[in-house]
Amino acid sequence: MHLTKEQREQFDREGYLFFPGQFTPEETRTLTAAVPALYARREAFNVREKGSDAVRTNFAAHMVSEPFARLARHPRMVQPVMELFDEEVYMHQFKINGKMAFEGDVWQWHQDYGTWLNDDQMPTERAMNVAIFLDDVNEYNGPLMFIPGSHKKGVVDAKHDLTTTSYPLWTVDNALIAQLVERAGGKNGGIVSPKGPAGSMILFHSCLVHASTSNLSPWNRVSVYLSLCAISNHIRRFKRPEYIAHRDFAPIEMLPDDCLLKDYPVDLPWKTGMPASALATSSEPFADMKRAA
């Protein structure tokens, strides 16, 4: 999948691209069918909602599940990012966010790069998310909200919210959000919310400010996020466990376009359980660790 000149210009201007129905129903069903078994596992890589057994985020499914290991190498998700960076990419993070019916909690306003910078010491914003809907997304089941063009502000001030939800974020305060929304058009486009059928895909800049409301509807809104980082921009600190922020900086080797429909062989190093090393952390910068070794 190659981006057009117009798509590159739109991404530069607005900070995101939306591709409704990018994956077929058959391809999407292959992924959806694998989610319940992942969510049922009682392992650290499943973060659950506060006061609920509903999964908020599943990490590192590409290390455990064949369908998601193939998705992690899918050219429709990887190629556009490589083109925008003009560089090979590695998997910084892989997550399946489960905004479940009636139980899916809010994701506060934030920039992803804010977390990657503060927690992982990622040098620059040469990383981004590619998301695919595993369920239909409508205005009722907690869709993503973007502030178009907010990526142009670079890294904005944020505070580390450790209490609002079960997953900590570096969040942006309300006053700054109001300013960014007004700057982007106020009530006339200052907030946008891509909605569409299962299989739709979003590509968005790591500095694009975004959020989502709770899901009070009877419909799940499960989405997969590949956080892809330019090889030269790999993280410098292992403060977070490896199942959240990966430490293998090898470039992704893409599979053929039909990889969700055919059984191409893939490695599943954590299929029977995570190694102890996946839980280890360090406050030392990666370069210092390397010298010490």
Q: What is the CATH number of the domain that holds 262?
A: 2.60.120.620
What does pLDDT average to over the chain?
90
pLDDT of residue 209: 95
pLDDT (average), residues 178-188: 94
Query: Can you tell me whether residue 292 is helix, strand or coil?
Result: helix
* Interval 195-250: pLDDT, tens: 999 999 999 999 999 999 999 999 999 999 999 999 999 999 999 999 999 999 99
pTM to 2 decimals?
Answer: 0.90
Between the CA of residue 266 and those of 69, 74, 89, 186, 255, what are the distances in Å? 7, 12, 18, 46, 10
Stronger pLDDT, 280 or 234, i.e. the higher one = 234
Residue with tokens 């992690």: 72
* Contact criterion met (CB below 8 Å) for 11 and 203: yes
Alpha helices in the chain (DSSP H): 5-14, 25-32, 35-40, 66-71, 75-85, 112-120, 174-183, 286-292
Task: Check the CA dihedral 34-277-225-229 and report its sign.
Answer: negative
The pLDDT score that the predictor gives to residue 167 is 63
Contact 229, 90 (CB under 8 A): yes
Q: How far is CA 103 from CA 61, 178, 200, in A?
A: 22, 27, 23
- Average pLDDT of the segment spanning 107-111: 88
Query: 159-161 and 16-19 as β-strands: parallel, antiparallel, unpaired?
Result: unpaired
Phi, psi of 101 (to 5 degrees): -55, 130
Lowest mean pLDDT, pick from 76-80, 232-236, 250-254, 281-285:
281-285
pLDDT of 162: 60
The closest of 222, 97, 223, 212 to 146, measured between CA atoms, is 212
In angstroms, rounded to a whole number, what is the distance separating the alpha carbons of residues 49 and 46?
10
pLDDT of residue 168: 65
Residue that is written with structure tokens 């979003």 in the block: 202
pLDDT > 70: percent of the chain: 94
Q: What pLDDT does 236 receive? A: 95
Identity of the amino acid at 259:
C
Find the length of the chain: 293
**Which of 47-61, 138-152, 206-220 has the lowest average pLDDT?**
47-61
Q: How far is CA 186 from CA 182, 190, 225, in A?
A: 4, 4, 28
Do 56 and 48 meet the contact criterion of CB atoms below 8 Å apart?
yes
Task: Please give the C-alpha separations between residue 98 and each of 91, 140, 188, 223, 281, in angstroms, as whole numbers.
Answer: 20, 15, 30, 7, 26
* Contact assessment for residue 268 and residue 274, using Cβ atoms and an 8 Å cutoff: no
Q: What is the residue range of 209's domain? A: 5-292
Task: Look at residue 288 in the predicted model and tell me its pLDDT.
Answer: 45
CB 91 within 8 A of CB 248: yes
Radius of gyration of the chain (CA): 18
Query: How many separate domains does the chain show?
Result: 1
> If we measure between CA atoms, which residue out of 6, 2, 18 comes closest to residue 223?
18
pLDDT-based confidence at residue 161 (cuts at 50, 70, 90)? low
The pLDDT, as a whole number, for residue 287 is 52
